[in-house]
Chain A
Amino acid sequence: MHDVAIRARGLSKSFGGTPVLTGVDLTVPAGSLLALLGPNGSGKTTTVRILTTLLAADGGTATVGGHDVARESVAVRRTIGLTAQQATVDDLLTGRENLELFGGLYHLGGRAARRRAGELLDRFDLSAAANRRVATYSGGMRRRLDLAASMVAAPRILFLDEPTTGLDPRSRAELWTVIRELLAAGTTILLTTQYLEEADQLADRIAVIDNGRVAADDTPAALKRQVGSERLALRLARAEDVPRAGAALSAGPGDAAGLRLDADAREVTLAGQGPDHLRRTLDVLHRAGIPVEHVDLRTPTLDDVFFELTAAA
């Protein structure tokens, strides 16, 4: 009870007959960070909206901080903070006024709300811009203010829906630092992202969501082992060699984990495992008499992750 902050069982949701979630199960231990990783339209926001009481599920149950999201929404709201995908701060108010407004609505009391706003502005490096209207803020500043707004009542459980999408690398790194500090202070965080790297950097566990269900739920290390830290892509000279290359690699001495064939692109890809593995792979193809036109090592994309995980499932 106390060690599980967020628990979802079989959450389902359809919009106008189109199923969006078809049985999402999640467990987030208190004080840990779960990254919900998925491409556009996979149901990340829908899941977050259900868990934050903004949307009712069609089926399934969920508890957040020990409270049922459907039946005890007020209790849930007092436990959580949400930074939604769409910015939810008031453009026409200043940063300080935004935080004081939310503090007031949490009934902190005037002085406590003002003090809390000041603390958060300092903490999120917004003091210099505190008395400027949010409309004049950069994307990164606005994101930080949004996060600060979710922290007004020091929630134990924080939901961050794609907090770094659209930020430059520096703002992203700054936000990661803040997230790590929140985690160190004992906050439970559910974060959605489209970036494998982000999930890898921050998460204790990664849940990969695809087609409305959790396709994999594991530690970053375990998932990476499955996918490989990088992808080795070989473009062959002739398309008709592709199946033969696949067969040779599967049978050969090299490790063919994550093998994928794409005849149209004349491409054979597999999990990259360092220089020796590359040499063995090229040897196998050479012995089979299959000319290779181009070799590329690239970091795995979400596509690779999904292909890997959904193909395995």
Chain B
Amino acid sequence: MSAVGTAARTGTDREPGTSRWTSAGDLRRLVVRALRHEARTPDALIVNIALPVLIMVVFVYVFGGAITTGSSGLTYIDFVVPAVLLMSGGYGAALTAANIATDMTGGMIDRFRTLPVSSWVVPAGHVIASVIRNVVATVIALIAAIALGFRSGATVTEWALVLALVVGYVLALSAIAALWGLFVKSVQAAGALSFIVLFLPYLSDGVVPAETMPSVLRAFAENQPITPMVETLRALLLGLPMGDAGWLTALWLTAGVVISVPVAAVLFRRRTSA
């Protein structure tokens, strides 16, 4: 038993969990862990990447001819790509809820809590991994869109803003998903968020022009957050007028992060308070 009983005390002399740098190191370890999870659950990854591509193929080639793009005058693929980009990242970001719920309801959180680390790195690791993965998934969806005929005349600055929007969007959604994953008591309940997030773009101006919807639906579509995001993306990618959409998008995303992060922190503390 000698090896197990005596080794490895040496490295623990540093004060763990106290310096900002050790916390950053712990966070990095948990991000790597979460990314490994993603890579090893290919079903989620495939849905994440294949779904937007499939949606584009179906909408552009099957329904595309039947859906008018309203007063925008866009071809259907140009019209639908912004919504597809948001669906792609959004679906994956919503999965963060289930990932966090798995750690919280299984025994893992107890293991992490008996380690000398600040346990908030567990949900934070999931959120950061989600942002990384979903930005990549969105880029893949964009490449697929270009392969299917999408064309943009955006400048470098506009592309940078598109990237910022996508990062902000998956960050806000991942934070909301973290909140949800910490609120619910089961992994199944946590998974429900994905469906809502996947559905929301259909009830926006992104897939079918809002002006062609029945009035109740239209009122919802015009006031929900996906619509200004779609309009902002169209303005940046396709040179359409921006109007208020840019500010509204920034407002929604900031609100999403600023509200859900502290609420998630409170929920997390409650779930892990001794």
Query: Given A88-B111, A107-B11, A184-B1, list of 4 further CB < 8 A pairs?
Result: A84-B107, A113-B11, A151-B4, A154-B4
Chain B interface SS verdict (over half): helix
Contacts A104-B29, A116-B8 hold; do A92 and B110 have CB atoms under 8 A apart?
no
* A185 & B11 in contact (Cβ 8 Å cutoff): no
How many A-B pairs with Cβ below 8 Å? Answer: 123
B8's partner among A77, A87, A90, A153 (CB-CB below 8 A) is A153
Report if A84-B274 is in contact (Cβ < 8 Å); known contacts: A101-B29, A107-B11. no
- Given A107-B16, A112-B10, A154-B9, verify A82-B1 contact (CB < 8 Å): no
On whether the beta carbons of A78 and B273 are closer than 8 Å, the reply is no
**Inter-chain contact B1/A182, CB cutoff 8 Å:** yes
B270 to chain A, nearest CB (A): 13
A89 CB contacts on chain B under 8 angstroms: 111
Q: Could you say which of B33-41, B57-65, B178-186, B205-213 contacts chain A?
A: B33-41
Chain A binder among B79-87, B113-121, B193-201, B246-254: B113-121
Q: How many residues of A contact B (CB 8 A)?
A: 52
Question: Does residue A36 face the partner (Cβ distance < 8 Å to B)?
Answer: no
Contacts of B116 in A (CB 8 A): 74, 77-78, 105-107
Q: Can you give 18 A-B contacts (C-beta < 8 A)?
A: A53-B114, A56-B274, A78-B116, A86-B110, A88-B110, A92-B40, A92-B41, A93-B33, A93-B36, A103-B8, A106-B12, A108-B8, A108-B12, A119-B3, A154-B5, A181-B1, A185-B1, A187-B5
**In the complex, residue of chain A having the shortest beta-carbon distance to the beta carbon of B274:** A56
A289 at the interface (CB under 8 A from B): no
Q: Which of B's residues lie within 8 Å of A, judged by CB?
A: 1-12, 14, 16-17, 22, 25-26, 29, 33, 36-37, 40-41, 106-108, 110-117, 273-274
The answer to whether A86 touches B115, judged by C-beta atoms less than 8 angstroms apart, is no
**Which A residues from 81 to 138 make CB contacts under 8 A with B?**
81-82, 84, 86-90, 92-93, 97, 101-109, 112-113, 115-116, 119-120, 122-123, 133
Complexed CA–CA distance, A102 and B14 (Å): 16
Chain B hits for A133, CB < 8 A? 40
The reply to whether the CB of A233 lies closer than 8 angstroms to some CB of chain B is no
B41: chain A residues at CB < 8 Å are 92
Q: How far is the CA of A56 from the CA of B3 in the complex (A)?
A: 34
Contact of A86 among B7, B11, B25, B107 (CB under 8 A): B107
Q: In the complex, A154→B22 CA distance in Å?
A: 20
A245 at the interface (CB under 8 A from B): no
Check if B112 sits within 8 Å of A105, measured CB to CB: yes
**Cross-interface CB contact of A153 among B3, B12, B110, cutoff 8 Å:** B12
User: Would you call B7 and A116 a contact (CB within 8 A)?
Assistant: yes
By a CB distance below 8 angstroms, the chain A residues around B2 are: 185
A28 within 8 A of B: no
Query: Of residues 247 to 285 in A, which have CB atoms within 8 Å of B's CB atoms?
Result: none
Q: Which residue, of B10, B113, B115, B273, has the highest number of chain A Cβ atoms within 10 A? A: B115
Cα A90 to Cα B6 with chains together (Å): 25
Indicate if A54 sits at the interface (CB-CB under 8 A): yes
A84 pairs with B5, CB closer than 8 A: no
